[in-house]
Structure 1
Amino acid sequence: MSFAWQYKDAIMDNKVLWTKHKQAFAYGMLLLGRRFDGERMEMVTEHQGAARLYADLVSSLAGLRGSITITSRTRGGRETFTVKVDTVTDRKRVLERFGQEGDRLNRENLPGEEDLRAFVAGAFLSCGNLNDPQKSYRLEFVIPREGLLGDFGQLLQELGFSPRLTIRRGVPTVYFRDSEEVADLMTLTGAGRLSLELVEVKILKEMRNRTNRVTNCDFANLDKTINAAAAQVEQIRLIYDRLGEEALPEELRALAALRLENPEASLRDLGEMMDPPLSRSGVNHRLKRIEAIARGIAQGEEIE
């Protein structure tokens, strides 16, 4: 079951929201459905429960005398349901019930903030989608008519959100990418428990990413240490092969011996092994002197 499907289930399970504010909720489903005019009045959805709720709400609110039909169609393994108000008379009755003229939002159907919440919840059932938070954070409303784009965006702003509006390939869309806003909108529309799951997913992803960054940094530092130690071992061996151990001053000879015996040790570890102990910077300074001697040998310089 997709996350969007779970969200729609959660909205429909919150009966207090859509029964107490039935007019606003139904208006969201109708206005943001595929068509809402005298010629056609329909919603298309993959969620059969949403299609049935649309039919029940419209029929009860407008007192329809004709029929509302729900048909199904399967294409590419995906089943969709189309719910229609069949007769012209009933479509006009519905439009009159909601005072609807044209494509614009009629705010008389949304007198209070709770009605705005119910309207947005109903709209999501008709035209909303929500990505799996394991992949990305995106909640969107695919607006069926361009005239509604600005009205719907303004309504969301009144509720304290910052929606993004776009027309993508001719399709008006209102969307959110900020995980906090997605979670807040889910809570606002009656899916608070599911929004907590989204927050949990975000926290786990951030923890994994943080762990990966630390691990990658540790590996990078480890590689750097190993490569430096390997170079130091080669430099010491070059000096010993060409000039012998006695070519190094005593303080360098002791450190060189420790490096050969402990090729994996860090500079701090080598310093602690010295007698007396040596600071990390002190170890680094002596290894630089060994490196300079080895470089001179490699370049054919005469070593004093």
Structure 2
Amino acid sequence: MAMVAAHAGVSGQTVSRVVNGSPRVDPGTRSRVEGAMAELGYRPHRAARALRTGRSQTIGLVVTTLATVGNSRMLQATAEAAAERGYALTLVTATDGVAEAFERLAEQEVDGAIVLNEASALIPAVQPPVGLRLVVVDAPTDAGFTSVHSDHAGGAAVATSRLLALGRETVHHLSGPAESFAAAERERGWRETLVVAGIRPPAVVRGDWSADSGYSAGHALATASAIFCANDQMALGVLRALSESGRRVPEDVAVIGFDDVPDAANYRPPLTTIRQDFTALAHRAVSALVEAIEGTSQGEPSALIPTKLIERDSTA
């Protein structure tokens, strides 16, 4: 570090600030220091930094599964967001419970952890290790943790309203698992929108996020005129079942999904859906956790990330 400082003509403290991503360095000086670091082949030593700062510069990510598109996209977005903040990411699955996952993270001396989606429902039953800072993605704002989640209920309300605006008498709902916070919020948005419109909500059909469960539900909903699916994977199965039942989409049945997975535009027909901004969700979760770790938190207990209707042929 002293060699970099001498080469760049700055103090060792300035080099330290650049290395640690401090905003208290003007762009010209930062560029000069980074150039000197590249020329001299300087790389921060993570273990040495941990000894000096008491932080490992590593955060954990707790998941129950990576089989769902939402979780896998969140993993990628979280890894990218962590890297931008200078943090490594370690992944643990809660196959043996969240308590065991927390213990594994504590053994690896991570600075904090993000708990993702379905795993968030398991947190109230355990006591996290002392000092492990947590941010939870998809949990109630009164859960006692910093929480970040998409506007599931708002997106569901927009989807339901759009289907009613097509002149359909009611909207049926294919929901996600009962224990899922996201599924419950999407169901709430759908239900409240129908009630406000003076329509009694039909019985919910429940799936497990998979296209197979959507296919089974699609046969049960074959007589519906409008279906709001809690995710795009289930909507894919619904579209296949409706086609096999001789029901045309959107002429006979209008369908809307949720997530806007990359393949949704290539479904047959292309799927109208509610887009989740996974990049914004991951960046906000990582920022909240890093701020808690570094003591720079602005005291924002939760964050709500907007969703957006993406209209395609399944409601045209």
For the aligned pair, the TM-score class normalised by the smaller chain equals: under 0.3
Q: TM-score by structure 2 length?
A: 0.24
Q: TM-score by structure 1 length?
A: 0.25
More helix by share: 1
Larger gyration radius, structure 1 or structure 2: 1
